[in-house]
Every structure is written in structure tokens, then in C-alpha cells.
Structure 1
């Protein structure tokens, strides 16, 4: 099945065509595409030839969608109801789905969800210690995100590492998706058992502009004192915190590293805070997995910033993590960067959400449903 993959971000539309053999033959990013401006998308569709289906990335599937799902009006209405849980992404995903449906109504469409990979979390792993009535009334729970990336990493990581000593069904992977957003997941036998993001994508690691986990009492104190109002709080936690807030840069890791190399104390601290939280969460996820066989770095920072991998590994020797620095520095795509004799395999996996979306789309469509 030849699949068109549509990944709607907060300000872009990423498009690719995945052939039946898994090869990516077309890829394009459209900036600022909206429902009323579909000429660029129509031009792309005119170039790629016939496809059999379209797979859409949706960040938040809520409690209802825990597997790839055929698109229909009821599903779209439910996605619209989740907009407040992922305001930067879900509305754009729904717009992308509707836009493709107008341009290619003949194509069977499947929605794949970043949250669905974490639907395997146990009640103990997904439940917040809040009043039970709150949890039940509002559907409060740990959803987790970056599931499409973590799912790909869970399969590609052990393959790159050549892990054979442990049966694949029991392989314990800690996947670090490090980009502008960042999360770590504990994966056993390909199933998520724990993850750092929660009800929203704000929790867990320090990110480019997002705060990560913080004492809720601190936030309540700031609000109660009157020194910070709710609108400012809401904006700052997502857009002015994280590496940006600490370093005085945009928060892009490349800028942080450049400032750090120049001796800027704020950038030095920002990098150290980022690594400290990353190491803490890797250790926690290894505990949730019951040990560690393969450590995966993926995402823009995970793939392209060897300094982060070096700094994290320096504090993870107690788990059996050791890097070969020559391999680490040379890694530019899928690569095993493990030091000879290390107990844990450490690998770099090129993020390939589009390949995962295409795989799940094919799985969701029975042969008779392809159109």
C-alpha cells in the first residue's frame, strides 16, 4: 500500500509518501497552510501520483482513541472536543484531515495518535494521586506523548544495536525523544510502561521553551502572591520557560551550546539543568522497565547534539551505559555508539514518525477497505 502521510504541526504541514517497501519517495514541508489556502497542497498531490491511503498524525487521542482509527465525522467531532488539551496541534490536525478530505475524498483516511502508544500504561503508572472524584469527572490521567516516535525507536533501536542476548519480547528500552519538545519512555517488549509527559505535554524534561516538571506548590504560590497572573503563567510555562527562560537565548540547543562555549554563565546553567533532568528521568524510566538493555536517543537534539549524549552518559555508568566517543561524534544517522564491552547498548535512531504513521495506517486498513 502506498501511503500519503500528513503531519500537521503548529505552523507547518509535513508531507511524505511512503512506498509499500517503506521507502520515502516524496517529502515536503509547507509553511502556514490553512483551510482557505490549499493550492500548495493540491500542487503536491498533483506531483506524487496515485496513493492508496492517507495517514494523519494527531497529537492527542484522549481516552477514546488508543489505536489507529478510520476517519469519520464522529471521530473529527471528538478531536474538536480535545482542542484545549493540545491547543497548538489538535486543531491543526483536524484542519489537515478536512483539507485532504476535500481535495481527495476518494482516499481512505486513518488518524494515528501520539497518545495511543502509551495506552498500555498500568493504572498505577497513569493515575494521579488527586481526589478520585476529580479524576473520574474530568478524565485526569497520564496520557503521554511522542508515541509515534517512541514506537519507532522501540523497534529500530534494538535492531541497530543487534540485541540478541535478550528475547525481543522482553527487551527493555529507554527511548529519549529530544527536540523542541522532549520526553523519555520506558518500553518493555515494544509496549510503553512509563513516560515522562503527562496529562499535557508540559511535564517531564526541561524543553526548548516548556518548563517540564515543577513543584505545583511553587506555581500556586506565585499565583496566590499576585506577582504572576494566570494569563502570564499559562503563556510562560509553554513559551518562555525551559532552555529559553534559563539561558536568555531562543532555547534552541545550538544557540545554548554556542553561548555556553562563549562562557555565558546562564547558558552553562541551562545546559546543566537540562542534562540533570534528563539523567534523572532516564534513571526513573530504567527503574520502571525493570532494567535497561538499549538506550535510544532520537529527535533533533537526540540525533544531532553529541554533547548531550556525552554529558548524559557520563552520569549513567551505574546502569552500564558507556559511549565510544569517536562513534558518538561521527553519528549522523542510525548508529550504534556503544563503547566496547558496555553492558547497555546505546544507539542513535533517526526520527521517522512518517514511517510509523504509514505502518499504522496499513495495519488499520483491511484489504477490502483501501478504496
Structure 2
């Protein structure tokens, strides 16, 4: 028996298969149909081997789910799936915890899709396809926003007319919650601390999307992403927080419409917008080291915004016991970690450069003298989703 996890994006579908207790990963992979090639590529990695396949007839998540199940069946791993965990980016105010999926839940997800038009519709298509091909399995929705349901009002209410919150539901939701929850629990394990004690953590999820969260005693106190994933840190193609007056100016004086602003802020800004080179941080690093001035500026902007965010979250926490770097950039860029930590000794955080250069997953990069620890944690969102799915599976069987 096994648990399948499906993590749907607008042009990718990540998947992972776990044993029925969600302890051991049996297989994982990704389908990406946003490529230059006419054929869509599927990657599969098991405990003993890896393979790739290509097809030209895959254009959406519905087709991708069917292909994944076919490939798993070919290696005798697809016949005993008893539950499927689905990552849902936005649960709105409807969902504050993992939820068994039924028709009512699907209807609520349809309603909240307008808040995440790039992410929730593909996830809904994935759910419906998985229900069709695995009708006997239990299906569970795990929400990126759920971890932040415990935010205090001072963290989720915006300083705007309060009626906007009451009438329109405009509030901070926060995102990357599955990653932040996993990394905070794993950080406690690495540090040998109880998750629900007074442990003060700042989690920096740095990938193409970026966010930072203050976690105290296992609960989030603040997070940088807001009503949408656009707020907060500078990202690969997203601006992060900017002066809202810029948008008013562009609409009034330059005749920008909402679609233009959406495209510019979500897809043409951030590292790509400043550097003019790429949203891929690896290319920004290379260009910066080659003395490209705009790449250097992008690096500096990115670094300083992370530094200032860590500082502000540290104030809310009253100090930092652990700073966590995770996700694609956070896990794989020693240069970025070094640049960020350069200004943090005043918080008692001192990076060991030797450890930083030879870092591996789930390790401490701080010097012996450092008052707070600096951790590299490999985020495992699929593992977290599998855990939550297994928990609901056991709960449903015990009733």
C-alpha cells in the first residue's frame, strides 16, 4: 500500500510515492510541458534507478496524471495507492487545515480560485483526474496557506480601511506554508529542541518564489507573502513589495491597465527585471561575477532585501535561535548565503565559510562561537503532504 503526492503547477506536475506510513519515499519525479521541445518530458527516480520518457500528446495536468499512473504501474508501484495528497496553493478563508476532498470541498476550491488563478485551477484539474483514475483512493487537500491560519491579527490585518477586510476578505494569507512548516519542524530536530518550546526561527524559502517567516514555539508570528504571493521579498520574476503609489501613477499618468500591471509585476520584475538577463539565480551569479553591472545590482537588491527582512523578523521574535535557508537558491547558493550572513553578526549569527562551501542537506553552517545557529534545510514539501495525508487516513479509519 502507498500514498501518492501530486504537486500541480501551471506547466509542471511534481509527484512522489511514499509507503503507507509516509516514512519512505519509493519514487519521485516531475512532468514539465513548458519546454522548448515539442515533446513533454517525464522524469522518474526510484531507490534503485532513474529514467526519462518523452511524449508529444501531453498538454495539461489531466493527461499528466494518467501518464504518471501508467509509468508507476509499469514498475509495479501504481497498483496499491490507497490515498492521494494534493498540494493546493490557496485555501482562502475556507480551509485552515488538511481536508478530505468531496464535492463540497471542490466547489469551495472553485470559488477561491480567483485568488490564485495560476495555481488553483491546475490543481483542481489534477484532483479530478486523480479521482477518475483512482476512484477507490482517499483524496486529501493540503494547503500552502493553512500553516498561517494561526497568524495573529496584527500580522494578517492590513493598515487599510477595515471594511475591506470585513466586506472583501482582504487580509494576509501567506504562502509556502507547507515548506515553512516542514523546515521549522526539521530545524527543531536538527537543533535537538522541542518544536513547541520557545524556539525562535526565521525561515528563508528562497527559490523562484521567495518568502520568509518568523516561527516562535512552532507557530508563525509573521510572514512576508500576503493577500497574494506577490508581496514581500524580491523574487525570480515577481517584484515583491513596492510603493503602491507607483501603480496609481502608472494607471493615471501612463494609461496602464490591470493586465499590464499584472504581467509586469508577476512576470517581468524581480531578478529578471533588474538584471535584464534571466530569472535563474545561477545565471545572475555568473553574470555578476563577470562584472555585469545590472546583474550585480540585482544581486545587491536581492541580498539587502533578505537581510532587512531577517532583521525585522528578528525584532518580532526578540532574537533568533536559528536562521534557516531552504528551497532552490537557499539550498544551492553558498554565495547568496555568504552575502546575506555578512551583515548578521549583530544578531549573534556567524557563518562558517568552510562549512558553507561544502554544505549538505540538513546541517548547521554556523561557527562554534555563533550565538544562533545557521541551518541549511532541504525542503520536502511532498513528504509533508504525505505525512498529513497519512494522518487523515488513519483518522478516517479510526472512526
Scaled by the length of structure 2, the TM-score of the pair is 0.89
What's the counterpart of residue 314 of structure 1?
Answer: 342
Query: Does 2:100 correspond to 1:70?
Result: yes
Measure the CA separation in 2 of the matches of 1:101 and 1:52.
12
Q: Give, in angstroms, the shift of residue 78 of structure 1.
A: 1.1
Q: For the Cα contact (< 8 Å) 1:53–1:370, is it kept in 2?
A: no
Structure 2: unaligned runs, 5 residues or longer: 34-59
Measure the CA separation in 2 of the matches of 1:106 and 1:370.
18
Evaluate the alpha carbon distance shift between residue 43 and residue 169 of structure 1 in structure 2; reply closer, same or farther with a 3 A threshold.
same
**1:210-235 C-alpha deviation (Å, 9 max, x unpaired):** 00000101211111112533321110
**1:40-80 C-alpha deviation (Å, 9 max, x unpaired):** 12313424241221111000000010000000111111111
Q: Secondary structure at the match of 2:61?
A: coil
Measure the CA separation in 2 of the matches of 1:61 and 1:307.
35
What's the counterpart of residue 43 of structure 1?
Answer: 70
What's the counterpart of residue 259 of structure 1?
Answer: 287
Pairing partner for 1:56 from 81, 86, 90: 86
What's the counterpart of residue 125 of structure 1?
Answer: 155
Pairing partner for 1:180 from 200, 208, 214: 208
What's the counterpart of residue 3 of structure 1?
Answer: 3
Evaluate the alpha carbon distance shift between residue 208 and residue 24 of structure 1 in structure 2; reply closer, same or farther with a 3 A threshold.
same
CA RMSD of aligned residues (A): 1.7
What's the counterpart of residue 28 of structure 2?
Answer: 27
Q: Give, in angstroms, the shift of residue 38 of structure 1.
A: 4.7
1:202-351 residue pairs with structure 2 within 5 A?
Answer: 202-226=230-254, 228-351=256-379
Q: For the Cα contact (< 8 Å) 1:161–1:347, is it kept in 2?
A: no
Q: For the Cα contact (< 8 Å) 1:296–1:348, is it kept in 2?
A: yes
Evaluate the alpha carbon distance shift between residue 21 and residue 360 of structure 1 in structure 2; reply closer, same or farther with a 3 A threshold.
closer
Measure the CA separation in 2 of the matches of 1:21 and 1:144.
26
Q: Give, in angstroms, the shift of residue 319 of structure 1.
A: 0.8
Q: For the Cα contact (< 8 Å) 1:12–1:30, is it kept in 2?
A: yes
Scaled by the length of structure 1, the TM-score of the pair is 0.95
Measure the CA separation in 1 of the matches of 2:163 and 2:66.
49
Q: For the Cα contact (< 8 Å) 1:149–1:352, is it kept in 2?
A: yes
Q: For the Cα contact (< 8 Å) 2:3–2:22, is it kept in 1?
A: no
State how many pairs are aligned.
369
Measure the CA separation in 1 of the matches of 2:64 and 2:286.
38
What's the counterpart of residue 186 of structure 2?
Answer: 156
Higher RCO structure (Cα 8 Å, ≥6 apart): 1
Q: Secondary structure at the match of 1:341?
A: coil
Measure the CA separation in 1 of the matches of 2:396 and 2:112.
31
Evaluate the alpha carbon distance shift between residue 240 and residue 285 of structure 1 in structure 2; reply closer, same or farther with a 3 A threshold.
same
Q: Secondary structure at the match of 2:62?
A: coil
Q: Give, in angstroms, the shift of residue 31 of structure 1.
A: 2.4
Q: For the Cα contact (< 8 Å) 2:13–2:64, is it kept in 1?
A: no
- Point out the more displaced range, 215-224 or 33-42: 33-42
